[in-house]
Copies of this chain bind each other. A is one copy, B any other.
Amino acid sequence: MTDQPRFLIIGAGAIGSFYGALLKRAGCEVSVVLRSDYEVVSQSGFHINSTLGDLSWQPDHVYRDGDTPVAAPDYILLCVKVLPGVDRAALVRPWMGKQTVLVLIENGLDIERELLDAYPDRPLVSCLAFIAVSRVGAGQVNHQAYGQLVMGSFPNGFDEHCQRVSALFKKAGIQVDASEAIVGERWRKCVWNAAFNPLSVLANGADTLTMLDAPGGESLIRALMEEVIVVARADGYELPDTIIEKNIPGTRAMGAYKNSMALDYLNQRPIELDAILGNVVSIANRLQVPVPRLETILAALKMRQPSAG
């Protein structure tokens, strides 16, 4: 690795371009692979209005599918949505050098497996982002709040690659929580996401308070969280008993809030149904843990989009 670590971001949407800006600020070489925003970003870079100040930046290289990279990246930062039909292993293949390390900043549970299967000898840095950020136009991003990462090696540990990447993000000024058990952290985030996100889509994009305050709403959300906790336990990740008791008032305290999946649905973008819910149900079925409520929500959503399988 050179003194100036070389990053390539695949999926430089709101999240990718935000964390790219931080890496740039930390002194890295940062390039991107783009589709729809290629022309705009090639010409004038990313414009990022952030609570951390103006984070606008120009990538060192802007690539398109089919281009050959000037040099193999030390790190590929993968920030694409986890959707059926999106082959993430194939997306990264043309850009992988012999030493390239994969860094995922993506949502969901059990989303690392397909990359580990494709690149079994490669270290995998798995990150969860706690952030409110949205793309408001081509190359235009609005960062509203937060930015903390939870990071660990997949499936466990916190290796030298985590240490290096973590140090860079910290240098740029954000909090990185090191985790020796990143899968457990994904389960923990899943307690909220699997309960609120797909249900908000069934509720046609309802906000959190509307969901909690509907007849039977809070009771259903608590029961969904409990189902996730029981599956996590069967999978070997014991979550604290207090997580539901913290999550509910914590959510109420945020006020009426439309979660990212509700917004994707309302804006007619695809939703990460399998990453957030389908994989939980698959693990539950494999471990023979009954999850009648999670299954009901998953099947109802699959009925809406039969083509998505």
Contacts and interface: CB of A to CB of B under 8 A. Distances in A.
14 contacts: A206-B303, A210-B303, A214-B299, A214-B302, A215-B309, A216-B281, A216-B295, A216-B298, A217-B302, A220-B299, A292-B296, A293-B293, A293-B296, A297-B300
A228 to B, nearest CB: 14
Contact of A299 (B217, B295, B299, B303): B217
Interface in A52-103: none
A223 interface: yes
A35 interface: no
A151 to B, nearest CB: 33
A156 to B, nearest CB: 31
A304 B211 CA distance: 8
Nearest to A211: B303
Nearest to A297: B296
Interface residues of A, number: 29
Interface string A276-309: 0000010000000000110111111011101001
Contact of A304 (B206, B292, B298, B299): B206
Nearest to A218: B299
How many copies of this kind of chain does the complex include? 2
A219 interface: yes
A293 B299 CA distance: 11
Given A202-B202, A292-B223, A292-B292, A213 B306 contact: yes
Contacts of A223: 292
A203 interface: yes
B300 A203 contact: yes
A199 interface: yes
Interface string A203-238: 110100011011111011001000000000000000
Contacts of A217: 299, 302-303
B204 A304 contact: yes
* Closest CB pairs A-B (n = 10): A203-B303, A216-B299, A220-B299, A214-B303, A292-B292, A214-B302, A202-B300, A296-B296, A293-B296, A215-B302
A215 B223 CA distance: 23
